[in-house]
Amino acid sequence: MARAATLLTAGPAPCSEDALAALASLVGDDLVACNRVIVQHMQSQVELIPRLAAHLVAAGGKRLRPLLTLACARLCGYQGGTRHVHLAACVEFIHTATLLHDDVVDGSQLRRGLASANAVFGNEASVLVGDFLFSRAFQLITADGSLHVLRILSDAAATIAEGEVLQLVTQNDLATTEARYLEVIQGKTAALFAAACQVGAVVADRPADEEQALADYGTAVGMAFQLVDDALDYAANQRLLGKTVGDDFREGKITLPVLAAYHAGSEADRSFWKRTIEASEQTEADLEHALALMERTGAIETALRRAASYAEQAKAALAIFAASPIRQRLMEVADYTVSRTR
């Protein structure tokens, strides 16, 4: 893993988290307001709901999606209102709901380095609180009052669910094409990134081409983000990642590193992948061997190169906006999704 690990932990950017911090500092007040809206709206008379939701909030997500909504609204010159703040919270609620359901579906025990909500509160509560947060998201859209926003976010929600089901269907199936894998991550991840960015243009009442440009930016950033996520699941420093390396391997999840190693591998390699991923027959030493095969076939680099190409697309999509500090930061965030180590 030496080569790939260096790629991921040293990284081309000096310290990739700086890109997020720099963007966050440009919309600092908005982000504080957004966090306040999130905490307010996760309240309920049913005490378990805020308790479970707070567990996830306390686990310290990056708030990447709401940050994008806030930044895109500012990029589009939105002023004088708080629609972007409320819609950023709405985006985070949809994201959190899918995280809760994902962890149930995957049987995950860890999330961001802490015990997952399902591990602490049980699958039942995670499913139901996910439903609650999802409903809250649509209550926030109601309060916003824009049917255009409702269309963007309800379409995104349906696309996310389709992507998640498609991922379930492709599990353990090495005949999955790369195109299908890209379809999965477009649905499960990129759709919400796209919506998060697009609504920034909507609240600022910008023309359709700017809306589309931000949707394209969000899609590309989301694709890069998920490609790197899937690479990190094999190549990350476990302590930094805050989740167990090899989760995807153990679940037989079909991601680009697996597909790349499988297709570039020898006959013996392919037998190994068939046994471990398709037949789910794994021994202790198999993850180590999988990592060695990925190292030999350059599978992690393949995924990272693909991610870098999406990051370039993302930056190109911003070309129609005039140069500004916030546009610059959004471009750096695209690079961050590739260079991040967790």
Positions in the binding site for a copy of itself (CB under 8 A): 44-49, 97-98, 101, 104-105, 123-125, 127-129, 131-132, 134-136, 138-139, 141-142, 145, 147, 150-151, 154-155, 157-158, 160-162, 164-166, 168-169
Q: Which residues, 6 or more positions from 47, have their beta carbon under 8 angstroms from its beta carbon?
A: none
Among residues 44, 131, 24, the alpha carbon closest in space to that of 88 is found at: 24
Shortest distance in whole angstroms from residue 129 CB to a copy of itself:
6
**Torsions phi, psi of 204, nearest 5?**
-85, 0
Q: Which is nearer to a copy of itself, 80 or 145 (CB)?
A: 145
Q: Which is nearer to a copy of itself, 48 or 292 (CB)?
A: 48
Shortest distance in whole angstroms from residue 182 CB to a copy of itself:
14
- The secondary structure of residue 172, as a DSSP letter, is T
- The secondary structure of residue 340, as a DSSP letter, is -
CA atoms within 13 A on the CB side of 151: 5
Q: Which is nearer to a copy of itself, 41 or 243 (CB)?
A: 41
Shortest distance in whole angstroms from residue 43 CB to a copy of itself:
11
Shortest distance in whole angstroms from residue 134 CB to a copy of itself:
7
Cα 312 to Cα 218: distance, rounded to the nearest angstrom:
12
Instruction: Decide if 113 contacts 155 (C-beta within 8 A).
Output: no
Q: Which is nearer to a copy of itself, 162 or 247 (CB)?
A: 162
Q: Which is nearer to a copy of itself, 49 or 317 (CB)?
A: 49
Q: Which is nearer to a copy of itself, 131 or 281 (CB)?
A: 131
Q: Could you give the angle at the alpha carbon of 280 between the alpha carbons of 279 and 284, nearest 5°? A: 135
Buried b (16+ CB within 10 A) or exposed e, 102-119: bbbbbebebbbebebbbb
Shortest distance in whole angstroms from residue 249 CB to a copy of itself:
18
| Burial grade of 299 (CB within 10 A; 0-12, 13-18, 19 or more) | buried
Shortest distance in whole angstroms from residue 178 CB to a copy of itself:
18
Q: Which is nearer to a copy of itself, 119 or 316 (CB)?
A: 119
- The secondary structure of residue 182, as a DSSP letter, is H
Shortest distance in whole angstroms from residue 332 CB to a copy of itself:
32
